[in-house]
Structure 1
Amino acid sequence: MQQVICTVDVVLLALQDDVLKVALLNRSHEPFQGVAALPGGYIHPREDGDAQDAALRVLREKTGITPPYLEQLATFSGPARDPRGWSVSIVYYALVPPGLIGDGAHPDIRLASVDKPLKLPFDHLEIIRAAVARLRSKSQYSSLPCYLAGDTFTLPQLQRVYESLMGESINKVSFRRKIGEMDMLEPVEGAYSSGAAHRPAQLYRLKPGRYEQLALLERGM
């Protein structure tokens, strides 16, 4: 009887120059050796407490990154997705702020725009599309984009992150009103932005436990 292949794959997402990008690594072995793909690997029954533990381990081992946000996306399975045989992959997507991928991460990581044509092995393109759709949908009502902004950020910086993900402008007054109503941020005492031509702006951070509590944003000016 054929043994089912059981793995985890992670869609690691970051914003770079206002463009949403995904982290890819060249595969070190067959099938598709040397081809860029999502970081992934086998589940280790004796080492991993659950699938999330496996996903975090795979990211640490292959990218050197422990993401501030990790969420299970879906399970992809079937006989045709892997040339080695019938396989199932429990897929997660992770959000990281700018700079984290380049700080202590694997030197072979390549960031690719999720909106550009990609040729990837297995069903990794389908997986990426599903992760991006999930993130962009949640960006309309949740605080998830904060994890792409960094540990601290100004309100204009945060608004720019939301606009980059949603692909359209957001009314400034509406944005700040919704942020205030949901009580999702806290000011960093005594911390302000520096180096800009304008006066320094207050820095904020996401309150602990505030994950998906932003009401639907109004678009437009």
Structure 2
Amino acid sequence: MMDEAAFLEQYDITAYRAPIATVDMAIFTVLEEQLQVLLYRRGEHPHKDRWALPGGIIDVGVDVDLEAAARRKLHGKTGVASPYLEQVATVGNGGRDPRGWSLSVLYFALLPAEGVTLSHGWGAAQAQWRPVTEDGVDMPLAFDHTELLTAAVQRLRGKVAYTALPAHLLGEEFTLSELQRVYEILLGRKIEKSAFRKRILDAGVVESAAGRKRTGANRPAQLYRRRQSASSHLFPRNLATGDL
């Protein structure tokens, strides 16, 4: 009887047709008082010249796991190595890619606009930030990326209401007013200032930036940093309902 080592030795991994396996990225930032997503115009077939989410085929010789593939693609497009990254969904069927049966693992990433250098590599003729309106952008996207973007936006907006994720859209140091404004942009409504500050400070998701302050035309404002535990913190009440 064949043992497992002998079985694996003679096993032919190419005996079955494999699907095209990719990761796709909904990369979000806040620019010009709007939530924006990174799109690129494809420079190669299929869907040449159409806009799409960044991503690409998983390289089994390089990527040790799915997150490694996502981070490699993200770094190549933005120059950012370690933003907030979350897996959203896995989709797959025989009709989403004209090259054949394909599956894709969708991630969203949050990063501050500062320090981002857009790359036009990997067949991308052009890359740019586009405003998110409702649950998507004002143009059709290649493949099924319109649906993928909608899923990512809905996941992000849903989590904003009870987590500290918006802090990942700011730089290393920020004021509470800047953090509040990011929440307001994502939620689409104003938040009462004193209640918001109490919610954030009581939750312990930020810490003082060693007494540093931001100076400008107005009174100097205390600077804060995101705590390492902020990403996993859940607020006991939902900001989307106005219950601060």
- SS, match of residue 140 in structure 2: coil
Corresponding residue for residue 147 of structure 1: 168
Mapped to 2, the partners of 1:214 and 1:154 lie a distance apart of 21
Does 1:219 pair with 2:242?
A: yes
Corresponding residue for residue 45 of structure 2: 30
- SS, match of residue 109 in structure 1: strand
Mapped to 2, the partners of 1:170 and 1:63 lie a distance apart of 31
Task: Please give the residue correspondences for 1:1-221 in structure 2 after superposition, counting only pairs within 5 Å.
Answer: 2-101=17-116, 104-106=117-119, 108-115=126-133, 116-195=137-216, 197-215=217-235, 216-217=238-239, 219=242
Q: 1:69: how far off?
A: 0.6
* Cα distance per residue 1:135-178 (max 9 Å; x no partner): 11111110100001221110111000000000011121221111
**What letter corresponds to residue 118 of structure 2 in structure 1?**
A
Mapped to 2, the partners of 1:113 and 1:220 lie a distance apart of 28
* Cα distance per residue 1:45-87 (max 9 Å; x no partner): 1211100000111122233332421111110111111111111
- SS, match of residue 142 in structure 1: coil
Which of these two proteins has the greater Rg computed from alpha carbons?
2
Gaps of 5+ in 1: none
Mapped to 2, the partners of 1:138 and 1:24 lie a distance apart of 22
**What letter corresponds to residue 208 of structure 1 in structure 2?**
Q
Higher helix proportion, which one? 2
Residue correspondences, number: 218
**Residues 14 and 21 of structure 1 are in contact (CA less than 8 Å); yes or no, is this contact kept in structure 2?**
yes
Q: What is the TM-score normalised by the length of structure 1?
A: 0.92
- SS, match of residue 229 in structure 2: coil
Q: What is the TM-score normalised by the length of structure 2?
A: 0.84
- SS, match of residue 122 in structure 1: coil
Mapped to 1, the partners of 2:139 and 2:72 lie a distance apart of 26
- State percent identity of aligned pairs: 41
